[in-house]
Structure 1
């Protein structure tokens, strides 16, 4: 049954939304805090983004059931921005991202994000996941990461051999590995308990309890207080956008946050039978949320598939569930901030390593390699480019690879050689573009020199200017005969193409 406006007036629907909001809140707390810590900003800023995602974006039109907040997919990019430009630049970056998203949604660009190749999106998420895992492995043992993705990956052997020698590192590693083990095993337990309690909450809760009881020498979260963590963005901060590097970060934020949100919306729509997402309105809602987050200096937000799936699976029927989840986050941040100080950093690293692993679509890569090898290449190219460079350039490389793949596939041409009436006919069908010129010209060069040649273009759906020009030039050159040959035997080469508007075929001939 389709969700209707009358549903929100029914007590049974409100009770289901209330239960779903509690489930989403329990999932969101460790993720909001962990993403903030991994991004290099105070833990409270992750909660602020979750609060804005619930109270503001949750109340706006767009998608009825998907939940917004800080996302693991932006962690690496935020960390790089904070490292290079400082925490003070985060507010204006997120604010500019939000305003750009609102503009794109208002002019109707939201629906065009669906045109981005899914291979590029999954490659982007895979690259993010691998970089995130590499950086959080350092946090797992209580040491600082080297920096970018390549440096972190290159330093892993040294991390394994050198960093696990002391008691603090071993204790931290035990906490992190234990957290990952709980996350992997929790859903496999029998009974209803795994459905009632989210795995991330259980894993972090058990790790926190272990630290409180055993007192191992591991680092815990530093708490500054909700108000003290906010850094309001002023008019003077706008001057930072004159830096081209910061504008590149804004474009990267916008592209990744928008694509992730709208692809998440498409996935969530398949999970419920309620109203489908209005993509332009959803992009405006995400932009409004990022605008507010930017004004208070919080993390950028996207729609998050993990929390959204938990919301749907918990039985949510209206947007009230995501609004209430924002209320619970606000109450938690205001009333129980001291609880955060008990959470070990290694446990949050374990949560993010698990989340990063889920971003790497191993099963999809196997399927694509068997059925759509070109898409698998685009996915891998995007992921490797992100690891080797950065998020923005990596996505651009992925989009370029997708365009090249599509151009190559759509320019497929079939070359048929027929011998008849003492004439060789080379018939081309499909689409002849410059990408296929080597194949076409190699075939023509292999034709016998003692027979007339006819190049039949009448079966082509499309022939671009470069290809036609090259064929005409080859025809003229072939008719001219080999240079340095005295009195070459006459041979006639003809280029035959369909005339405009379906007229009879026009033949262009060149005689020596």
Structure 2
């Protein structure tokens, strides 16, 4: 780990604590939905927080057991007849992910358009919000971490909201509303100016008050029973704690079904990770770019370790990652802290953790869900034009009414259809010129630039060193899709931290497609452009024609 990570400990430690509080019930819920031992979810949470973070290049991504794999895991354990045999498939999946990282398959993540990624974030926010409402009212029939439309308890996301009305727990309702009031109060500007409230985080106050209320309500009509509490498996001593870990049964390594399941999990887990990486990078205030191939290798190492010690498969997870960002996390240290806290809680204080009402955690997740799906985001996407808004809305609806991967596929189909129609208008040519000796860099864009060119353009931008001058020539460009404009705007934001001077030519006759001022601020006047080192002083080192 880089020593610089400790410089942001003031921000990372509280964020890691919040992610820990969010992650524990999700780890348990996903294990329950997967038909696996509850402790296997805790193991996956530890591995995702400690092992994956150690090898990852993601600044704010947090890994753990993934809801998207729950159905696959449930079917796999039933088909193989043994959890220990299933662990062999988890190890195989990890090995395959490492190979995918070595083969540079991480580039796949750059081919998902921003409209679909933002649709995914909003959909996850809506799902989190809807799924937590029953928990907030004290109805916990559906386990935490079940993000599918059709639930494990036979209900769906919306029918559960009606069904919960027959099972309201008054004590849980009181805890939820008090917790929400505290979290909203903590977000106010006047609270953030008081130093003590900068140190003590709202979610921590909510959890402590939840435990206190649980004790006060004991024996009354407002009592919160164990069914409505966090339920970490409790061991009597250290040897009992170690006994909860499982070893894979490698005698099944020659079973073809084990390999098929391993390959399936590797593909699905890698796709979920790449989607989450893209989404997390969009949420990052500093607009840092995660090396996706390194991330695949880190996830592979994590799955090998998780499989060897009895854990569920892991991926980078958007719920934990977004909670990390919203809580002020700055570096990988927050994810590492969350993993260490899961380990310590399971080892030393499971009884204390089991006193936390799920209603308290529901309040925290309701706030997380709302922030991911704010109405302002829908308005902003609408202003950017139908080419952005339609795939965005379709992705949101598809994920809410199906599941993550199916919804993403439907959103991608709509986005690709739109872009294929647009591509009939103009050919695509991207030319990049560098003068590395003088640190003057130029990227010349063609008439038509779409999200299909994101990976190539991002690769060229990443070649620009610290302290350089970058001139983007869009004078011949008549159409740039929003995704590329956003990459340029994000690069500009990141350039502040790297002392890169970035300018772009006047956008003559360019269809901005409703893009905001963030790009327009990059534009310089004609006179200033003439003062920039131009192509006459530069040599062409790359030419990509499609």
Say yes or no: TM over 0.5. yes
Distance 1:80 1:112, change over 3 A: closer
Q: Which residue of 2 aligns with 1:158?
A: 162
Distance 1:22 1:348, change over 3 A: same
Q: Which residue of 2 aligns with 1:69?
A: 63
Q: Which residue of 2 aligns with 1:378?
A: 391
| TM-superposed deviation, 1:346 | 2.4
Q: Which residue of 2 aligns with 1:16?
A: 7
Q: Which residue of 2 aligns with 1:411?
A: 424
The alignment partner of 1:298 has SS state of coil
Matches within 5 A, 1:189-228: 189-190=191-192, 191-215=194-218, 216-218=223-225, 219-225=228-234, 226-228=241-243
| TM-superposed deviation, 1:56 | 2.3
Q: Does 1:264 align with 2:268?
A: no
Q: Which residue of 2 aligns with 1:309?
A: 325
| TM-superposed deviation, 1:361 | 4.9
Give yes or no for contact 1:49–1:299 (8 Å, CA) kept in 2: yes
| TM-superposed deviation, 1:403 | 0.7
Q: 1:80, 1:227 → 2: CA distance?
A: 28
The alignment partner of 2:141 has SS state of coil
| TM-superposed deviation, 1:406 | 0.9
Q: Which residue of 2 aligns with 1:103?
A: 99
Q: 1:43, 1:353 → 2: CA distance?
A: 24
Distance 1:340 1:237, change over 3 A: farther
The alignment partner of 1:200 has SS state of helix
Q: Which residue of 1 aligns with 2:403?
A: 390
Matches within 5 A, 1:144-183: 144-145=141-142, 148-149=148-149, 151-156=155-160, 158-159=162-163, 161-164=165-168, 169-183=169-183
Q: Does 1:252 align with 2:261?
A: no
| TM-superposed deviation, 1:79 | 4.4
Q: 2:252, 2:173 → 1: CA distance?
A: 40
Q: Which residue of 2 aligns with 1:484?
A: none
Q: 2:123, 2:252 → 1: CA distance?
A: 31
Q: Does 1:300 align with 2:314?
A: yes
The alignment partner of 2:130 has SS state of helix
Distance 1:320 1:344, change over 3 A: closer
**What per-residue deviation string (whole Å, max 9, x for no partner) do you get for residues 353-393 of structure 1?**
33333332532221111222222211221222223333322
**What per-residue deviation string (whole Å, max 9, x for no partner) do you get for residues 167-201 of structure 1?**
xx222233234333333332223413343233332
Q: 1:143, 1:323 → 2: CA distance?
A: 29
Distance 1:256 1:277, change over 3 A: closer
Task: Give the stretch that moved more between structures: 302-311 or 171-180.
Answer: 302-311
Matches within 5 A, 1:87-486: 88=83, 91=87, 94-140=90-136, 141-145=138-142, 148-149=148-149, 151-156=155-160, 158-159=162-163, 161-164=165-168, 169-188=169-188, 189-190=191-192, 191-215=194-218, 216-218=223-225, 219-225=228-234, 226-235=241-250, 239=255, 241=257, 250-265=266-281, 267-268=283-284, 270=286, 277-295=290-308, 296-298=310-312, 300-302=314-316, 304-306=320-322, 308-309=324-325, 313=328, 323=336, 326-412=339-425
The answer for unaligned runs of 5 or more in structure 2 is 235-240, 427-446, 449-477, 479-546
The alignment partner of 1:153 has SS state of coil
Q: 1:208, 1:240 → 2: CA distance?
A: 49
Q: 1:214, 1:139 → 2: CA distance?
A: 18
Give yes or no for contact 1:383–1:394 (8 Å, CA) kept in 2: yes
| TM-superposed deviation, 1:211 | 0.5
How many matched pairs? 393
| TM-superposed deviation, 1:404 | 0.7
Q: 1:347, 1:240 → 2: CA distance?
A: 45
| TM-superposed deviation, 1:210 | 1.0
Q: 2:389, 2:111 → 1: CA distance?
A: 18
| TM-superposed deviation, 1:30 | 0.7
Q: Which residue of 7, 19, 26 corresponds with 1:28?
A: 19
**What per-residue deviation string (whole Å, max 9, x for no partner) do you get for residues 101-124 of structure 1?**
322221112234122112222222
| TM-superposed deviation, 1:342 | 0.7
Give yes or no for contact 1:91–1:294 (8 Å, CA) kept in 2: yes
| TM-superposed deviation, 1:282 | 2.7
The answer for unaligned runs of 5 or more in structure 1 is 414-429, 432-460, 462-512
Give yes or no for contact 1:38–1:79 (8 Å, CA) kept in 2: no
The alignment partner of 1:70 has SS state of strand
Give yes or no for contact 1:176–1:347 (8 Å, CA) kept in 2: yes
Distance 1:320 1:245, change over 3 A: closer
Specify the structure having the higher radius of gyration (Cα): 1
Q: 2:337, 2:18 → 1: CA distance?
A: 14
Q: 1:57, 1:285 → 2: CA distance?
A: 5
Give yes or no for contact 1:53–1:67 (8 Å, CA) kept in 2: no
Give yes or no for contact 2:97–2:297 (8 Å, CA) kept in 1: yes
Q: 2:92, 2:167 → 1: CA distance?
A: 40
Q: 2:383, 2:94 → 1: CA distance?
A: 40
The alignment partner of 1:301 has SS state of strand
TM-score, normalising length from structure 2? 0.62
Task: Give the stretch that moved more between structures: 41-50 or 106-115.
Answer: 41-50
